[in-house]
Amino acid sequence: MTIESDAAPPPHIPERVRTALGLSPSGPHYAFYRHKGLVRAAHWINALCLAILLMSGLNIFNAHTALYWGKSSQFDHPILMLGSYYNDDGAVTRGVTTIFGHPFTTTGLLGASKEDGALTGRGFPSWATLPGPNWLAMARQWHFAFAWLLVINALVFFIYGIWSRHFARDLAPTRQDIAHLPREIVDHARLKFPHGEEARHYNALQKLAYCLVIFILGPLIVLTGLTMSPTMDSAFPVLLEIFGGRQSARTIHFLCAFGFFGFFIVHIVMVILSGSWNNLRSMITGWYVIRGRKPS
């Protein structure tokens, strides 16, 4: 007796595509518990905080769209300035970004952008700032609230990372990592990512990127933020010496923010290219699928 089935066979998805999408491979594979609960929670709280801090920070910046170096503002010599030009009728015609005295036309994005349909003079555009309209009082309150959450989250993560040896075991680059670095850079440039057993550990580039963000950018952005507070300057004047003054601290704070933004972009691209769903699932449920047989 023969049974005929009308059901179509499962669609054949090439292995390369399956891997890129992060689907389970058709061959042997097993799930591996990659991220502990606390790390996952800290990751998503961080993601929320950084998004809100960046956007509310841009709104705060819009209250004075220039950066300086030193103790105070040398208004004639900004490092960076976002400005706009007006015509005789008072309408905004052009947005200009000036970096070290060199002007660039950035109409539509920086200096002047559309707000309610009309070109308006403002540093960063309303779609990038939180709240949307220029609203310094409210943006500051969002910024400080989520700065607290970020710092508390970071403290919990640091204590956990040291206590559980997560930092020492998973993040600290080894001698081997450094030796493999050149090859890894080439592999990453070719979008060739570690698979199988190798994917159980962070590779050297990942370790360096995470260490840079966690141990350098993070503390730097918190400390430069505190340096902008006149009361904190009275409690810890050494902050001003470290960063070369309040306006330098403000500039470093801004650069760190864009450092975080750059990390975010690279991070998202890497997550997508190296197996979107597998990566995303592992940061939600903890489980990451590895190709090959489970080592005994």
Partner 1 sequence: MTDRRGFLGRALAGASTLLLGGCYDLSQAPWFVGALGKVEDLTHSAQSLFAGPQTLAPEFTKADIAPVFRANGTLDPGTPEYAGHVSSGFKNWRVSVTGLVAHPLSLSMDDLRRMPTRTQITRHDCVEGWSCIGEWTGPQLSRILAAAAPKPEARYAVFYCADPMTAEGDPSHFYYESLELSEAMHPQTILAYQMNGKPLAVPHGAPVRLRAERQLGYKQPKYVQRIDLVTDFSTIQGGKGGYWEDLGYTWYGGI
- Nearest by Cα to 21 from 226, 285, 233, 274: 274
Shortest Å, Cβ 29 to partner 1: 33
Contacts of 113 (CB under 8 A, 6+ apart): 95, 107, 119, 120, 122, 124, 125, 126
Taking the C-alpha atoms of residue 244 and residue 103, their distance in angstroms, rounded to an integer, is: 26
**Residue 156: CB minimum distance to partner 1, A:** 17
Select 42 or 249, whichever has its Cβ closest to partner 1: 249
Query: Cβ 219 to partner 1, closest distance in Å?
Result: 17
What is the closest distance, in whole angstroms, from the C-beta atom of residue 66 to partner 1 in the complex? 8
Q: Cβ 220 to partner 1, closest distance in Å? A: 18
Nearest residue (CB) to partner 1, 130 versus 199? 130
Where along the sequence are the contacts to partner 1 (CB under 8 A)?
52, 55, 60-61, 63-64, 66, 68, 71-73, 75, 126-133, 135-138, 140-142, 144-145, 148, 228-237, 240, 246-247, 250
Decide whether 73 or 276 has the Cβ nearer to partner 1.
73
Of 103 and 133, nearer to partner 1 (C-beta) is 133
| 137 phi and psi angles, rounded to 5 deg | -55, -45
Based on CB atoms, which residue is closest to partner 1, 123 or 173? 123
**Shortest Cβ 236–partner 1 spacing (Å):** 7
Report in angstroms how near the CB of residue 191 gets to partner 1 at its nearest. Answer: 20
> In the complex with partner 1, which residue's Cβ is closer, 65 or 279?
65
Q: Which of 142/260 has CB closer to partner 1?
A: 142
